[in-house]
Amino acid sequence: MSYTYDQLSKMTVAELRKIADGIEHEAVQGHITMHKEKLLPAICKALNIETHAHHTVVGINKTAMKAEIRSWKKKRAEALTSKDYVKLSEIRQHIHDLKVKLRRTIV
């Protein structure tokens, strides 16, 4: 049976040890005494599963939004050098709003 990292990370240590029983790989040698934080990466290595979850962005163009954030950061630097603190505050708030919007769309 093929597993995903999310499925494996939600399992108990006993369930992970049962899975490791059926795997013949050097990474899971001594799995009986391993704790979950060592056993999970070992099983992932033996089964060729990536050990991190990928996030997907739904509803917006992530690349365009990051480019917009970078352009606002340049404006922020200009406002900082010119000591225009009112404009600086507005720019920082706009950058913050864009970042929040980006984080909320990550699934």
User: Per-domain residue ranges for the chain?
Assistant: 5-47, 62-105
**Token reading at 27:** 């990474």
CB atoms within 10 A of CB 53: 10
List, for residues 15-47, the tens digit of each pLDDT value: 999 999 988 999 889 989 999 999 999 999 999
List, for residues 69-104, the tens digit of each pLDDT value: 999 999 999 999 999 999 999 999 999 999 999 988
| C-alpha to C-alpha distance for 50 and 54, rounded to whole angstroms | 9
pLDDT of residue 107: 66
Q: Does the pTM of the predicted model rise above 0.75?
A: no
Q: Is the pLDDT of residue 59 over 90?
A: no
At 106, is the secondary structure helix, strand, or coil? Answer: strand
Q: CA-CA distances (angstroms) from residue 88 to 68, 81, 93?
A: 16, 10, 9
pLDDT of residue 97: 97
